[in-house]
Amino acid sequence: MKLEVYSIDGKKNGKSVELDATVFGIKPNRTVMFEDVRRIQANKRQGTAKTKERGEIRGSTKKLFKQKGTGNARRGDIKSPLLRGGGTAHGPRPRPYNFGMTKKAIQLARRSALSLKATQEGVMVVENFDFETPRTKDMAIALTNLGLEGKKILVLTPGKVESIYKSGRNLPGVRVLESNKPTTFDIMHAEVLVFLEGGLEELQSQLAVDPAVQKARETRVSEAQAKIEAAAKAKFEKKLAGAKKTAASKSASKPATKSTVKKDETTVATTATTKATAEKPAEVEEKPKAAPKKAAAKTTAKKTTATKSTTTKASTTKKAAPKKTAAKSTATKSTATKSTAAKKSAAKPAAKKTTKTTKKDSGEDKS
């Protein structure tokens, strides 16, 4: 990958620089980059946060009120974490937050960050320059000429250049570092990396890797990924086979339903018919001879007479049915009236007898 070299005026110098493929052209390892950034930020922590627990607060240890009988919630001393001014439960304690990583992992993270910036077109190369006296205005003019005004910029110089460092330290979003000192966090935090020619050479000499070694690393990584993918695929296929077996066993244990039995019978019948037709020789179908016209006329006449007779029979049966039902209803009514009359006649003499007996009884009482 080649980059053109610019001057401070913002014009192309006519030169070009070749970027090392092992530094600016590798596949970014985002996991290692994340771990390195987390390490850098954790190492910046002082780890001096501290709160007082209930045993460290000044105050009485007397129980505020008795355990039972007050109706309030039970309370201990006034230093309880539940009360205002009490101790803090499980608060922070002074401790170190820093952790380490191997040198190879840190270098891989830096190279991954540089490669990511190169793919995002966030790398610029400027010819070596220096200011006679440190002036912030001169640095701001140079950055505007390069079209970098208002961006987060990381300027990487070959060694420590005091004039550039002092000119850029008061500009917002601008940071000046030596080319061999930027961390993964510094590279990722900046939008554009501005390399001086000498600084680019210094960084590449520090992070460059033998191409054969880099290729061997990439092959190892690809093989490991292939093994992981193959293991995952085998595991998935094993699960799928087990699921198929269980489904087959369940279907075998279930009794056959009527629909399935019918389907099986139909399939057997169709197969039998197909076999029979295949075995039999093809027979020539003979067309039936046309019947004479007179016979056809006779058959149609017979059919019409039969339909007429059936319709007449049905109509007569329908008309006769209501008469029979009416006669039955009148007979039942007459029998009902006779029975009621007989009951009334039987009840009258009984009433007369009862009246006579009551009169006799009353006469005997008088005497």
Write out the DSSP string of 226-294.
HHHHHHHHHHHHHHHHHHHHHHHHHHHHSPPPHHHHHHHHHHHHHHHHHHHHHHSPPPPPPPPPPPPHH
Retrieve residue 193's tokens.
């990396």
Count CB atoms within 10 A of the CB of residue 29.
19
- Pairing mode of beta strands 2-6, 12-18: antiparallel
Count CB atoms within 10 A of the CB of residue 108.
22
CA distances, 163 to each of 135, 138, 167, 178, 354 (Å) = 8, 10, 6, 13, 149
pLDDT in tens, 141-185: 999 999 998 899 999 999 888 999 999 999 999 999 998 899 999
pLDDT in tens, 275-299: 556 555 544 444 455 444 544 455 5
Delimit the domains of the chain by residue range.
Answer: 2-49+92-207, 212-247
- Give the closest residue to 45 by CA, choosing from 107, 92, 87: 92
- Give the closest residue to 131 by CA, choosing from 160, 161, 106, 169: 161
Which residues, in sequence order, are CB contacts of 188 under 8 Å at separation 6+?
33, 37, 113, 116
Name which of 45-49, 308-312, 354-358 the model is least confident about: 354-358
From CA 96, how far away is CA 39, in angstroms rounded?
A: 12
The fold of the 2-49+92-207 domain, in CATH, is: Ribosomal Protein L4; Chain: A; (3.40.1370)
pLDDT at 22 over 70: yes
Three-state secondary structure call for residue 306? helix
Helices vs. strands in the chain: H and E counts, helices first = 10, 6
Give the chain's length: 367
Mean pLDDT of 129-136: 90
Q: Return the C-alpha torsion angle 121, 122, 128, 133, nearest 10.
A: 150
pLDDT at 364 over 50: no
